[in-house]
A and B are shown apart, each in its own frame.
Chain A
Amino acid sequence: MVINSRFFNRSELLGFLALAVLLLLILPLSLDIFRLNLVAKYLTYAFVGIGLVLCWGYGGILSLGQGVFFGLGGYCMAMYLKLEASSVANTKIQSTPGIPDFMDWNQLTSVPLFWKPFHSFPVTLLAILLVPAFFALIIGAAMFKRRVGGVYFAIITQAIAAILTILIVGQQGYTGGINGITDLRTLHGWDIRTDHAKFILYFVEVVLLFGCIVAAQFIRLTKLGRILVAMREQEDRVRFSGYSVANFKIFAFCAAAVFAAIGGAMFTLEVGFMSPSFVGIVPSIEMVIYTAVGGRMSIFGAVWGALLVNFAKTSLSESFPQLWLFGLGALFIAVVLAFPNGLSGIWADHIQPRIDRLLSSRKSKSAAGMIADGAPAE
C-alpha cells in the first residue's frame, strides 16, 4: 500500500467539502429552527460514531458502552447548567433554596460534594473531557492489560452501561433519577433556550465536529493509526514486534470516549436535558448501529450514518411508529450480512469507480479533442 503523505486524499477532501457545504450552508438555509435543532441532535451521535470508527473499525475493539461516555459528558454539562439554573432567586419556593429541584424533592439540604466542582465553567469543560477519559483509562487498562478482547470486552462494556443506568436511576437525589436533569436554562449567563441560541449552538457543534474529524483523520494517518490496523489484523505479530498492544488499545478507547463525551455535552446543550435513557444498553447499541450503517471504516461514513439513520428514525416513527423497529432491525441485519462496510463501502465499491470512469473518460475525450484540434494547426 502506498502511504499517502497528504492529509486528505482527493476523495476524502471532496467528502469533507461536501459535508461542510451540507452542514454549513444547505441545512441552515433550508430548514426551520426546529428541524435544524433535530439535525444538531443527530450530529451529537456523529461524534460517538467518529470515536467508534477509530476504536472499532480501525482498532477492532467493539465497545457496547459508548453510551456511558456520551452520558458522562452530557451529565457533566447538565450538572453545570443545572447548578446555574437553580440559583437562590430561581428556587425560592423550595424548602432549601439554591439547590437543584430534584435534590429538594429528595430531602437533600445541600449540594453533594461531587457536584461542587461544577459551579465553575472551566472546570466543567475540563471534566467533560477528563472524566470519561479517566473512566475509559481504568476500564481499558484493566481489560487490555489482561488481554481481554473481542466478545468479552463487548459484553463487559455492555454490563458497565447497565450498571451506570441502574445507578443513575436508583440514586434519584444525586442524579435526578429516571427523569434525568431537566429544566436547564443558561450557559454562563447566556440563555440557551431561544431560537437564536440554538442557531449559534448548531454552528458551534458543526465546527467542533469538523475539529473531531480532523483529529480522527490525524490519528488515522500517523504511525499510531497504522499500528491500530495492524493490531486488528494480527495482534500477536504486533506484540512480537515489540509494541505494547495494550497501550495502543487503551489510547484508542480513551480517544473514542472523549469524542463520545463531546457529543454528549453538545447533546445536553442542544436538547436541554440529559437522562439515563441516553446512557444504557439500547442507546449504546444504537450508536454502534449508526456507525455500522455509515461504514465502520470511514470517518465521514460515521457522520452520514448518524444523520441518515436518525433522520429515517424520526420520519418513520412520526408516520409509522409500528414499522420503525422492523425497519431498524432489518437494516441492521442487511448491513451486517451484505454490506459489512456500510454506506461508505457501497460508495467506494459501486459509485466511486463509476464517477472515476466517467471523469476519466471525459478527460481522455477532451485530451483527444485537444490533440485533434491541435493537429490541423500544425
Chain B
Amino acid sequence: MFGDYSISDLGAILAMQGFAGLILFSVYVLMALGLAIIFGQMGVINMAHGEFMILGAYVTWMTSNAVQHVAPSLFPGYFFIAMILAFIAAGALGMLVEWALIRHLYKRPLDTLLATWGLSLILQQAYRSIFGAREVGVELPEWMMGSWQATDAIQIPINGMFVMALTILITIVVFYILFWSSWGKQVRAVVQNRVMAGAVGINTEKVDRYTFGLGCGIAGIAGSAFTMIGSTGPTAGQLYIVDTFLVVVFGGAASLFGTIASAFSISQTQSTLEFFLSGSMAKVITLLTIVGILMVRPQGLFALKVRK
C-alpha cells in the first residue's frame, strides 16, 4: 500500500492526514470532555449528548443567519457570539433535563442510558420538525476561508487551525474550572464521596445540576465548532455518540487527561488509515482495535486507582 508513493510524498500525506486527524480530534475532544464530565464524574450515560451538540450547531447556524441579516458588519466575529449562545442554550437545556429526568435516576445508571435515548429520539424529531430534514451549513466569514501553504506539498485549512485553537482554549478552561476553582473542588468532592460532601455543607443536588449543565454546554460549543467543518442535520449527532463513548471509556472514565490522550490516538489512527484503506475499513479497524484493547484492559488507558 505504500509502493506508489515517494518518501517526500508520504511525509506530506502523513502531515496532511495528521492534520485532518487533528480536526477530528478537536470534535472528539470537545464532545468527549462534556461526556467525560457527565459520565466519568456523575456516572450518567447521556445518549442524548450528540443531540446537545447538534443544538449548539443549530444555534450557531441561526446566529450566523441573524447576524448576516441584522448587522452584516459584525459577520466576521459572529462565531464568538454564536459560541456563547450555543453554550448557554445547550447548558440550559441540560440543566432542565437534569431537573426533570436525570436526578430521578442517579441510582440506576443503566436506566439513564435508556431514558436519555428516549430523549435523543424526541430531540431529533424536534429538530426535524423545526429546522427541516435537510442538512444546513453555515457560511464561513472571509478570514476563515482558504488555507495556509506550509510547504509546497502541505496545505493546512485555516478553519481547521481555528477549531483546534478553540479546542485547546476550552480544554484549558475546563481544566481550570474543575481543578482550581472552588466550584470544581466541590464537584470532585461530590464525585469522590457524595455523603461526606453533603455532610460538610456542599449542596450536592445543585452541584449535580451545574455539572450536567456544564457538560451539555461544552457539547453545545462542540456543535459550534462542528459547523466549521461539516454540515448539520437532525441525526448528525447520533453518528458521533458511539465513537465519543468509546473515546471516554478507552481513556479511562474518570480521567480527563486520559480522554484527551485517547481522542488523539483514535482520531490519528482513523484519519491515517483512511488514506490508505477505504473510510469504512479504517473505521472498522480503529473500532476493533479499541474494543480489543478494552477487552484486555477494561479500565481504559489512564485509570484512577481508587478503592471501591
With A and B bound together, what is the CA distance between A151 and B114 in angstroms? Answer: 11
- Asked if A332 and B121 make an inter-chain contact with CB atoms under 8 angstroms apart, the answer reads yes
CB contacts (< 8 Å) of B249 on chain A: these are 152, 155-156
User: Which chain A residues border B202 with CB–CB below 8 Å?
Assistant: none
Q: Are A336 and B287 in contact (CB under 8 A)?
A: no
* Bound Cα distance from A5 to B48, whole angstroms: 45
Say if the beta carbon of A350 comes within 8 Å of chain B: no
Q: Is A337 an interface residue (CB 8 A)?
A: yes
Bound CA–CA A80/B61 (angstroms): 49
Q: Place the interface of chain B in its size category.
A: 35 or more
- Inter-chain contact B101/A337, CB cutoff 8 Å: yes
**B121:A325 contact, CB within 8 angstroms:** yes
Asked if B9 is at the interface of the complex by the 8 Å CB criterion, the answer is no
A-side contacts of B242, CB under 8 Å: 155, 158-159, 162, 281
Please determine whether B294 and A156 come into contact, CB atoms closer than 8 angstroms.
yes
- Label chain A's interface by main secondary structure: helix
**Nearest A residue to B296, CB-CB:** A146
Residue of B nearest to A161 (CB): B242
Assess whether B168 is interfacial by the CB under 8 Å rule.
no
Q: What are the interface flags for B73-108 relative to A under an 8 Å C-beta threshold, 1 for contact and 0 otherwise?
A: 000000000000000000000000000010011001
Say whether B246 contacts A332, CB under 8 Å: no
Is B288 part of the contact surface with A, judged by Cβ < 8 Å?
yes
B57: min CB distance to chain A, Å: 19
**B122→A330 contact, CB < 8 A:** yes
Which of A154, A288, A336 contacts B105, CB < 8 Å? A336
Q: Which of A167-190 contact B (CB under 8 A)?
A: 167, 169-170
Check A322 against B298 for contact (C-beta < 8 Å): no
B residues with CB within 8 A of A: 43, 45, 101, 104-105, 108-111, 113-115, 117-122, 124-126, 128-129, 238, 242, 245-246, 249, 278, 280-281, 283-284, 287-288, 290-291, 294-296, 298
Q: 9 new A-B pairs (CB below 8 Å) besides A152-B249, A285-B117, A340-B108?
A: A148-B294, A156-B294, A166-B287, A170-B281, A329-B122, A332-B115, A332-B117, A333-B101, A333-B119
- What are 19 A-to-B residue pairs whose CB atoms are below 8 Å? A142-B295, A143-B298, A148-B298, A151-B43, A155-B242, A158-B245, A159-B245, A159-B287, A163-B291, A166-B283, A170-B278, A170-B280, A325-B122, A329-B118, A329-B119, A329-B120, A329-B121, A333-B122, A337-B104
